């Protein structure tokens, strides 16, 4: 009985901290310079069925997950890389949602926190996705930038 209660408590705690754990693990693993530079295979095998990255402006896609989580809600999960020549004063087009069933009927602006930084993902009615960093500590300029994005919206 005690083992089952401990296990249930552990599962509930893990479930409650999923987004924070996701962010910490991804940032810790992916922000290492050698990891970012030596994993061109991972970039080449990224899932691009429902999301295409804006390669023209230097964005690279490690992976994406765009899916319905309820009849009226969409989850977007992205792991992006950029070489850091970003003007953070401007909104950055990072790519677009390809499947019409996942594109919002009205423009959506979704906020999320990335450790100490407050970010916004704007999705227009054509599926174009724009990332912006709101006031806070700007990422340092030394290594390629890895950004995990995870947002949910009602369509």
Q: Which of 112, 114, 113, 110 is nearest to 97 (CA)?
A: 110
pLDDT by residue (tens digit) across 5-63?
655 665 566 555 555 555 555 555 555 444 445 555 545 556 668 899 999 998 988 88
pLDDT at 110 over 70: yes
In DSSP terms, 148 is beta-bridged to: 79
pLDDT at 3 over 90: no
Alpha helices (H) in 17-155, listed in sequence order: 18-30, 33-38, 40-44
* Confidence (pTM): 0.68
User: DSSP per residue over 91-126, as a string?
Assistant: -EEEEEE--GGGS-SS-EEEEEEETTEEEEEEE-TT
Kindly tell me the sign of the dihedral angle through the C-alpha atoms of 108, 100, 82, 78. Answer: positive
Tokens 């423009």 locate to 107
Q: Which of 83, 81, 92, 78 is nearest to 47 (CA)?
A: 78
What is the C-alpha separation between 152 and 73, in angstroms, rounded? 7
- Go through 94-131 and write b for each residue having 16 or more CB atoms within 10 A of its CB, e for each that does not: bbbbeeeebbbeeebebebebeebebebebbeebbbbb
Range with lowest mean pLDDT among 62-66, 77-81, 88-92, 114-118 = 114-118
């Amino acid at each position: 009985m005690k083992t089952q209660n401990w296990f249930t408590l552990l599962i509930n705690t893990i479930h409650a901290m999923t987004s924070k754990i996701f962010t910490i693990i991804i940032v810790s693993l992916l922000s290492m310079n050698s990891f970012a530079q030596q994993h061109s295979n991972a970039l080449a095998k990224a899932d691009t069925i429902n999301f295409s990255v804006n390669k023209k402006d230097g964005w690279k896609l490690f992976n994406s997950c765009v899916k319905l989580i309820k009849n009226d809600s969409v989850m977007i999960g992205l792991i992006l890389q950029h070489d850091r020549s970003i003007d953070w004063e401007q909104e950055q087009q990072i790519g677009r949602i390809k499947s019409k069933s996942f594109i919002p009927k009205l423009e959506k602006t979704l906020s999320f926190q990335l450790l100490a930084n407050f970010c916004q993902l704007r999705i227009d009615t054509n599926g174009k996705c724009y990332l912006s960093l709101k006031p806070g500590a700007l990422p340092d300029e030394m290594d390629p930038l890895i950004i995990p994005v995870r947002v949910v919206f009602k369509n």
